[in-house]
Amino acid sequence: PSVPVLWQVQSIDSTNRCLLEWAPQGLPQHFCLVARQQSAGRGRRGRAWISDAEGSLTFSLWWIFDRSLQELSGLPLAVSLGMVEALHSLGMTSVGVKWPNDLWREGRKVAGVLVETTRLSSGQVGAVIGIGLNVALPSSLQDTCVLSLNDLRDEADQAPARATVLGRLLNTLIPLLESFAQSGFAPFAETWMTHCVHRNQQVTLLHPNHTRSQGECVGLSSLGGLILRDPAGEPHTYHGGELSLRLE
Ligand code: BTN
């Protein structure tokens, strides 16, 4: 498998924004930008991503695909699955995936993935795969966040070294991205469900237009859409929105 060029910077506004800015000038085929600190980290749906210089891991990977934008809709799910597998291999087996691209541990979020794409003059699609992972968050940060966050610390308050986590993540994600580039999301769908924290649970999906759908989470489509079974037993596939795990 190919090895990415890896750059680490002390401080930047957002590793995703930076790679999107650099992309038109040309980037190495596989490039990884790691930032110790971000001053304007971006989250999904226009939200901010808050991180800590000591306790967070924030980086973006650049990858070029010969696939349509629609086929890339499952990319964040495949990446979050790869992250869960990497963390399990480091002994952190209580981490699971929450649709579409969060990592959860004991009912709280530990990581998020933000994929932003750009069409290249070659006709290919360049993807910036941004990853924010809470390794050992200071309690001040946990308290100030609206969303309740978790990190990777164990009962003895010990967290793995960030370099260890980054190394394991890249070792898992690079072959995974090569496989995704070849075969798309479909081969990952079943394994994703085995790590899903809301599998077979009643959930509420909040749509971008503020309406809601409720149902039992029964699976994923080949593009990574969420399949909910309504009270009449009918399956429906959804491709956007925010998942609430409480039945409201
Ligand atoms: C989410 O909303 O859950 C996605 C969070 C993604 C945050 C990462 S941190 C590295 C990269 N750079 C950014 O500005 N955002 C992503």
pLDDT in tens, the chain (248 residues): 566 789 999 999 999 999 999 998 888 888 999 999 999 999 998 999 999 888 999 999 999 999 999 999 999 999 999 999 999 999 999 999 999 999 999 999 999 999 999 999 899 999 999 999 999 988 777 666 556 889 999 988 899 999 999 999 999 999 999 999 999 999 999 999 999 999 999 999 999 899 999 999 999 999 999 999 999 999 999 998 999 886 55
Q: Mention every residue, 6+ apart, whose C-beta is less than 8 A from residue 65.
A: 71, 72, 124, 125, 126, 127, 181
Q: 202-244 sits in which CATH class?
A: mainly beta
Q: Is the dihedral of CA 16, 117, 150, 155 positive or negative?
A: negative
CA of 229 to the centre of ligand 1 (A): 31
Beta pairing class for 202-206 and 212-220: antiparallel
| Closest residue by Cα to residue 97 from 197, 227, 9, 186 | 197
Q: Is the omega angle on the peptide bond into residue 231 within 30 degrees of 0, that is, cis?
A: no
Active-site option among 44, 108, 199, 229: 44
CA of 173 to the centre of ligand 1 (A): 16
Q: Which atom of ligand 1 is nearest to the CA of 16?
A: 12
Q: Taking a C-beta distance cutoff of 8 angstroms, is the pair 96, 195 a contact?
A: yes
Q: 5-194 sits in which CATH class?
A: alpha beta
Which of 12, 20, 102, 131 most suits a substitution to test ligand 1, by most atoms within 8 Å of the C-beta? 131
- pLDDT value of residue 73: 96
- pLDDT value of residue 147: 64
Domain boundaries of the chain, sorted by first residue? 5-194, 202-244
- pLDDT value of residue 5: 87
Nearest CA to ligand 1 atom 3: 112
Structure tokens at 79: 């990446």
The residues lining ligand 1, judged by C-beta closer than 6 Å to any ligand atom, are 14-16, 38, 41-44, 47, 49, 58-60, 102, 112-114, 130-132
DSSP 162-204: HHHHHHHHHHHHHHHHHHHHHH-SGGGHHHHHHTBTTTT-EEE
Q: What are the C-alpha distances in Å from 237 to residues 19, 96, 97, 114, 197?
A: 32, 21, 18, 21, 18
Element (H, E) at 216: strand 212-220
- pLDDT value of residue 74: 97
Q: What are the C-alpha distances in Å from 2 to residues 74, 135, 136, 220, 227?
A: 22, 26, 30, 29, 34
How far is residue 245's CA from residue 195's CA, in Å, rounded to a whole number? 15
- pLDDT value of residue 140: 74
Nearest CA to ligand 1 atom 9: 132
How far is residue 154's CA from residue 192's CA, in Å, rounded to a whole number? 24
CA of 131 to the centre of ligand 1 (A): 5
| Closest residue by Cα to residue 161 from 186, 126, 119, 133 | 133
Structure tokens at 48: 């901010």
Buried residues in 65-78 as b, exposed as e (16+ CB within 10 A): bebeeebbbbbbbb
Angle at the Cα of 16 (from 243 to 64), degrees rounded to 5? Answer: 95
Q: Taking a C-beta distance cutoff of 8 angstroms, is the pair 111, 133 a contact?
A: yes
CA of 5 to the centre of ligand 1 (A): 20
End-to-end CA distance of the chain: 46
Query: Does 44 qualify as catalytic in the annotation?
Result: yes
| Closest residue by Cα to residue 152 from 101, 91, 72 | 91
